[in-house]
Amino acid sequence: MDKLIITAAICGAEVMKEHNVFVPYTIKELTREAKEVVNAGASIIHLHVREDDGTPTQAVSRFNEAMKAIKKVCPDVIIQPSTGGAVGMSDDERLSPIKLNPEMCTLDCGSVNFGEDETFINSKKQIKYFAKKIYNKQIKPELECFGKMHVDQVLRLHKGGHIKDPMHFSFVLGVDGGQTGLERDFFFLKDSIPSTATYSVAGIGKYEFPLAELAIKHGGHVRVGLEDNIYIEKHKKAKGNKDLVKKVVKIAKKYNRKIASPNDARKILKLGEFI
pLDDT at res. 231? 98
Residues of the chain with pLDDT under 70: 275
pLDDT at res. 272? 84
pLDDT at res. 232? 98
Residue 152 neighbours by CB distance under 10 Å:
14
Helices (H), 41-139: 60-73, 91-95, 124-136
Q: Are 85 and 25 in contact (CB under 8 A)?
A: no
Cα separation, 101 vs 91, whole angstroms: 17
Query: Any idea where the domains of the chain sit in the sequence?
Result: 6-269
Please name the amino acid found at residue 231.
Answer: Y
Cα separation, 44 vs 260, whole angstroms: 10
- Phi/psi region, residue 103 (left: phi>0; alpha: psi -120 to 50; beta: rest), is alpha
CATH match of 6-269 with 3.20.20.70: yes
Q: Tell me if the pTM is above 0.75.
A: yes
pLDDT at res. 114? 85
Closest CA to 168 of 106, 248, 228: 106
Beta-carbon contacts of 112 under 8 Å, excluding residues fewer than 6 positions away, are: 119, 120, 122, 146, 147, 150, 175, 177, 178
pLDDT at res. 179? 97
pLDDT at res. 88? 82
Question: Could you tell me which residues are beta bridge partners of residue 221?
Answer: 200
